[in-house]
Structure 1
Amino acid sequence: MTGLSRDHVPESFDTGAAAYDRLVGANPGYEDHLRISAQRMGLPRNGAGLRLLDAGCGTGLSTAALLSVAPEAEIVAVDGSAGMLAEATAKTWPASVRFVHSRIEDLAAAGVDGPFDGIFAAYLIRNLPDPDAQLQTFRTLLRPGAPLAVHDYSVRDSRVATVVWNAVCWTVIIPAGRLRTGDASLYRYLRRSVMEFDGAAAFRDRLRRNGFSDVDSDTMPGWQRDIVHTFTAVAP
């Protein structure tokens, strides 16, 4: 792989953090789709009595999605980018939400441990050097029977989705990222990382290989059909 490497992704988000919400706000359905994935976790009782992990919370948009479906839950939101986390913590949150600055691989060192009643990982697994190790860690952090929801891009299983993704990247995402931040390297990496990531069927198989049960996936409505997916699974 050339250009930005996965090891440097958290720090690279620092540069674009201030512009991140404006950039994704120009993407129709971005926040709605996060809420759809959070809803697909099937969390009970408005989250009352639950402890949830938002893994890779960024500027807090995924945290807000979790909060919308589980307003009574305790949420621990973690991100490896100090800049993104600064944007998140500048927003208004209830006392039940706690933010932690840590790479997701270093949760234990950051004092974040289980058990959790659900884990939400949006746009995270694709960016990790060792996704299998992280999925195994998530499984150990979950209570038996608790859900994992992975919200991410996956286009390999659809030729149409691949064409649309590349077209949107080269004509919209990469130019807009360069305009907002002065540096397009993160957005070129985004395009490339999605192209190299598992197809939906392969990622479902990856979840099963790493010990999860009840594995399923569903895509999003609109132009991101077969581009953005929710992968759901349960800790046995």
Structure 2
Amino acid sequence: MMENNQGVLAIIFDLDNTLVDTSGAGRVAIQKVCDLLKSTKVHESHIGNICELFLHKLRHESFDPSEDRTIDDVRIHHWCEALQEARGTDPDPSLASSCYYTWKNTRLQALGLSPEVRTLLEELQRNYKLLLLTNGDSQTQWEKIKAVRCEGLFSALVVGGDHPEQKPALSIFTYCFERLGVQPRDCIMVGDSLSTDIQGGINAGVKATVWINSDSKCIPQGSVTPDYTVPSALKLMDVLAELS
């Protein structure tokens, strides 16, 4: 068993594209929808455009859970609009619903902790308090957590959609520190988003921020700078060794 590093008592992890390959699962799901659309005789020239339109709507989605509709309703509507806009036809709610549930269920089935990441978390769990902090709609993120079967690996699970503010807001980090019973300087923040994970960690005063940069992206000009950059969460042991 490795020794605990002086000063690091807790690790806060993001979920999507940090511990699980949500982008990869999304690509698998979109391919499944393409296959569905081909089978329903949608013209092949429209299929790519329909999926692009849906993904654009998903990226720019705004959802207020206090409204009288679910995230499922909102996303079925994205598909309905995408089908309509790409084909110039009347709405097709039935096909939109089929597209949505094909996309959603395929994406959930494709999500998972790799054996290597699961082993890493089990190893870290022996010496550190681990907390999962994920932004997003409550229903969507809890469905992912359930699909990934990771509840037992963390001292606490925090979904942004259950709180008044999400990352990078200080309030949700303060809540996490309280859940863990630690000070900000006892924690490191690990995530793939400079604007939410890294900015939030810096705002909250954590000991160090670790940016998961799997695509070897350059840090954009004017962006926040992480303390450490690694290609994968599997390199976290190297960071902890440096921090000790």
Please give the range of the TM-score, normalised by the shorter of the 2 chains: 0.3 to 0.5
Give TM-score, length-normalised by structure 1.
0.39
Question: In proportion to residue count, which structure has more helix?
Answer: 2
* Greater RCO (Cα-Cα under 8 Å, separation 6 or more): 2
Structure number with greater Rg is: 2
